[in-house]
Amino acid sequence: MLPESAITALKTQLRSAKVYTPDSEGYDNTLQRWSDTGRKPAGVVVMPTDPEDVRAALLWAQERHINLAVKGGGHSVAGTSSSYGGLVIDLSLMKSVSVDPTTKTVTVGGGATWKEVDEAAAEHGLAAVGGTVNHTGVGGLTLGGGYGWLSGQYGLTIDNLLSATVVLANGQIVTASVTENADLFWGLRGAGYNFGVVTSFTYQAHEQTNPVYAGLLAFPPDKTPAAAPSAS
């Protein structure tokens, strides 16, 4: 368990973030993940509402050499969004979605899920290249590359990432894009877990005005030779 003095120091450095410790009401709810295999008992959970509180939590953990995990959608079965006894920065409250129909771009908070992105974009006849499972978080999928329903036409999620706001380990809050901090932007697109906490993403969206239909076709083994040419 983390010392009470350390928790007190953390709270004094935060502006509007919610803080949960093992004796807090609602603490157990903060540990829930998509899979129980990813659940770990954190020493403290911080739910920031802005990059400044992310920065404060990061620096607090560094000063005290406390293990750190970042939770977006909590979809990791390996538990990478959880920590045994350490700090979890839970971005669940940073899930705003803003759509610019003129530029066809979508700016998304680091704690949003693809369901929230899909619904907001669809109101403007747009779609982003997100995941195939809509309760996956935008952060984990994007920073690992990202493959979705539209990838065959528009590439990976990272191919459609225009910029990101990142809180670095030294506390700097920077924008990464092809024109600003380009080396960081290059690294974020596929290995992004290693460089900081991404608090927002801006994506290129694409027109999606026609209805999309989905279904399942199943072929018994003796029919697959005839069906294969049509499927390729």
* Cα–Cα dist 122/100, whole Å: 12
- Classify residue 87 by its DSSP letter: E
- Judge whether 42 and 4 are in contact, CB under 8 Å: no
Give the pLDDT score at 213: 80
- Pairing between strand 206-207 and 173-177? unpaired
Domain residue ranges of the chain, discontinuous segments joined by +: 4-92, 97-207
CATH architecture of the domain 4-92 equals 2-Layer Sandwich (3.30)
Interhelix angle 51-63/4-13, nearest 10 degrees:
150
Q: Which residues contact 27 (CB under 8 A, 6 or more apart)?
A: 20, 21, 45
Give the pLDDT score at 212: 77
- Judge whether 157 and 142 are in contact, CB under 8 Å: yes
Cα angle 78, 81, 84 (rounded to 5 degrees) comes to 85
**Among 3.30.465.10, 3.60.150.10, 3.30.70.100, 3.30.479.10, what is the CATH number of 97-207?**
3.30.465.10
Q: Which residue has the tokens 């050499």?
A: 65
Give the pLDDT score at 232: 63
Q: pTM higher than 0.85, yes or no? A: yes
Q: Could you list the mean pLDDT of each consecutive 10-residue stretch along the chain, which spans 232 residues?
A: 96 97 97 95 98 98 97 93 97 98 98 98 96 94 94 96 97 98 96 93 94 83 84 66
Give the pLDDT score at 156: 97
